[in-house]
Chain A
Amino acid sequence: MSVNLTLLIVMGLLYACGIYLILERSLTRVLLGLMLLANATNLLILSTGGYAGLAPLFNKSTDPRDYNDPLPQALILTSIVISFAVTAFMLGIIYRTWALARQDDIQDDAEDRRVAKTPSFDAEDDSVVPEETSEFPDTAVTEAAKEGGPE
């Protein structure tokens, strides 16, 4: 099976640019990166079909080996349709992000940041509970907790 060198080089370039772009924080660039990746993959599928040949329309007088492999092309058509739908959806999301936050960047998860900042000290579990000395245990503990446990 011979391969088309130009196709391979173009494919490599598309992958390189696509990966570079999806590492960006700007959503529009991420979208462009995803589109490049999808197209590079389409070229990869195309190149698995082997050499260029005749269109696979059956004719008794043609040698079967002259035909092109039709299956990769069918796969590419499907994958183009899918990436088209995903691109449209991503554009919708990006527009929505812009409408909500006037920003094109991926935003941090606020809850995640909050959990990451939580100290390992947990007032409920870790605060020092004084020994029971008083006759009225309930009041003693709550007072100690007020003093000992930082907010």
Chain B
Amino acid sequence: MNIASLAPLAVVLPILGAALTFALNRNPLAQRVVSIGMLSLTLLLECLLLASVWTTGTASVTLGGWQPPWGVVMVVDQFSSFMLVVSSVISLAVLIYATGQGMADGDREAPVSIFHPTYLILVAGVSNAFLTGDLFNLYVGFEILLTASYVLMTLGGTGPRIRAGVTYVVVSVVSSVLFLIAIAMIYGATGTITMADLAIKLAELDPGTRNLLHVMLLVAFGIKAAVFPLSFWLPDSYPTAPAPVTAVFAGLLTKVGVYAMVRTETLLFPGDTLNTPLMVVALLTMLVGILGAIAQSDIKRLLSFTLVSHIGYMVFGLAMSSIAGLAAAVFYVAHHITVQTSLFLVTGLIERRGGSSSMDRLGGLAKLSPLLALLFFIPAMNLAGIPPFSGFLGKLGLMQAGIALGTPLAITLVVGGVVTSLLTLLAVARVWNRAFWRKPEDAEYPDPVLKDTAGVGLLPRTMVGPTAALVVFGVALTVFAGPLFQLAGNSAEQMLDRTAYIRSVLGEHAPIPGIAAPHGDTPAGSPAGGASPGTPASAQGGGK
């Protein structure tokens, strides 16, 4: 039996775990064991999926006995299985961290009986969104993860969380309605919602209709991915949630939006019709986001703004629609998920040790807790893109692809990317200077915990452990950047080619009429087409 046919288990296992933990809600210990066990099992399965896709190529699973153009399919290709593995590593680490926090706090912050089932459902929704090959099923995946995230966002029901939750829920529901409208229109125009089938049928539509559908999908996903004019909700709602919840949201939820945008751009609407607006939007996202981050004095809010800002890099890579650009974007997504999550987890630790996440109240943490300082310093430098970290390699890949493309707009974006990177360095250096480096008495309103060190216990190992593991994972992305860039390059090539994806769903003899047209204009739009395969190799050289 082919291992790829087990793909639906990546969704089923977490849901099963959610049901079990819900039934066990009177026994916190059993809940923890079940949820961590289930997620580990899911991670193992996803590693096997990645290995199987690596050797045997793209595979699809038909659900419920309906043949592909009618039924729901799940498609495992290199990009989706890679995203699955990264997202599961993150969610497992955050789950262990949250469990540690729960054990240390006696569960005041996050009542376990609700937390574990909801968290597992969130993971199931993310896996479903990554795996599905059906547009409506993608909507369902989004709704599963969003509904779970509403609950996690308002956990405990305190005033600020309810306030933030309202904004979050309303914005998410509006974006889901937009997505649903787009699905209805696409179904009305083509008579199918299977993505592989759409890839063929959308190409036959009138260009005006096609552009309308394209823009509607991008707007809906743009809200979820927090791309600039649609990013206002994110810094408003993320920082108030409990630290592990913010960490997993920052790592995964926006990236699911980015993933959906990548699929839209490569599979459904290939070619470069919207590349110019996407590039402009990417530039604005980077700059506006990072300028917002510099103004903040709360670390969580600052990180939320850097999150928005760095989404711009991924959109930039996507908008180039060359293999090199897309490969760099794929690598950047993996890097950013890891780094942003570890930074939010560290902020949770800072809050525990220093009593606050506001920089006005912090100081001298480097002396109080050198380990914490190290755990902050590495991902912070990684985020800012200091060599040799993976942030640098991802940005380098993007810059190379941008220069290879050579249009004035692409060069502007390269410059914008460098400026954003420097401003990110400024933002995290401010956190470092104020929270870690200066003396506690220099803080504007020093938190009493900083001086009275006797009353504070050590940070719980179950929280430091997963954070350290994630930081190490982030460093591992640097060490293994060569193979990873190769993986990203392969998946980019597959996504731009589309043949493997469509054939794996619709059978070996599926006609691919749409392929001729987009292939005709991609090299014309980007003279980089020929030079691009060289880029992953050279970035690989930088990784050694």
Contact = CB atoms under 8 A, between A and B. Distances in A.
Interface of A: 22, 27, 30, 34, 37-38, 41, 44-45, 47-48, 71-72, 75, 78-79, 82, 85-86, 89-90, 93, 96-97, 100-101, 106-107, 109-112, 115, 118
A101 B159 contact: yes
A44 B184 contact: yes
Where chain B touches its partner, the secondary structure class is: helix
Given A41-B180, A75-B136, A86-B173, A107 B163 contact: yes
Nearest to A69: B191
Interface string B112-155: 00000000000000000000000010001001000100110010
Among A22, A93, A97, chain B packs the most CB atoms within 10 A around the CB of A93
Contact of A37 (B157, B163, B174, B236): B174
A102 to B, nearest CB: 12
Contacts of A86: 147, 150, 169, 173
Given A37-B177, A71-B193, A96-B157, 17 more contacts: A27-B166, A30-B170, A34-B177, A38-B177, A45-B180, A45-B187, A47-B188, A75-B184, A75-B187, A79-B180, A86-B169, A90-B169, A93-B154, A96-B154, A110-B160, A118-B295, A118-B297
Given A97-B162, A109-B164, A82 B295 contact: no
Contact of B301 (A30, A45, A100, A111): A111
B316 to A, nearest CB: 27
Nearest to A30: B170
B165 interface: yes
A98 to B, nearest CB: 10
Contacts of B160: 110
B297 A115 contact: yes
A103 to B, nearest CB: 10
Interface of B: 70, 136, 140, 143, 147, 150-151, 154, 157, 159-160, 162-167, 169-170, 173-174, 176-177, 180-181, 183-185, 187-188, 193, 236, 239, 295-298, 301
7 contacts: A41-B177, A78-B136, A93-B162, A97-B163, A106-B167, A107-B163, A115-B295
Given A78-B140, A93-B162, A96-B162, A34 B157 contact: no
A101 B150 CA distance: 20
Contacts of A44: 181, 184-185
A27 B236 CA distance: 17
Contacts of B162: 93, 96-97, 100
A89 B180 contact: no
A109 B163 contact: yes
B236 A112 contact: yes
Given A27-B166, A37-B177, A79-B180, A48 B297 contact: no
B174 A22 contact: yes
A89 B147 contact: yes
| Nearest 6 A/B pairs, CB to CB | A48-B188, A45-B184, A44-B184, A82-B143, A37-B177, A48-B187
A101 B297 CA distance: 27
A22 B167 CA distance: 11
A89 B150 contact: yes
Contacts of A89: 147, 150-151, 169
A57 to B, nearest CB: 17
B149 to A, nearest CB: 11
Contact of B187 (A27, A71, A85, A97): A71
A111 B239 CA distance: 10
B236 A109 contact: yes
A26 B520 CA distance: 52
A71 B185 CA distance: 14
A34 B166 contact: no
Nearest to B300: A111
Contacts of B163: 97, 106-107, 109
B337 to A, nearest CB: 26
Nearest to A120: B295
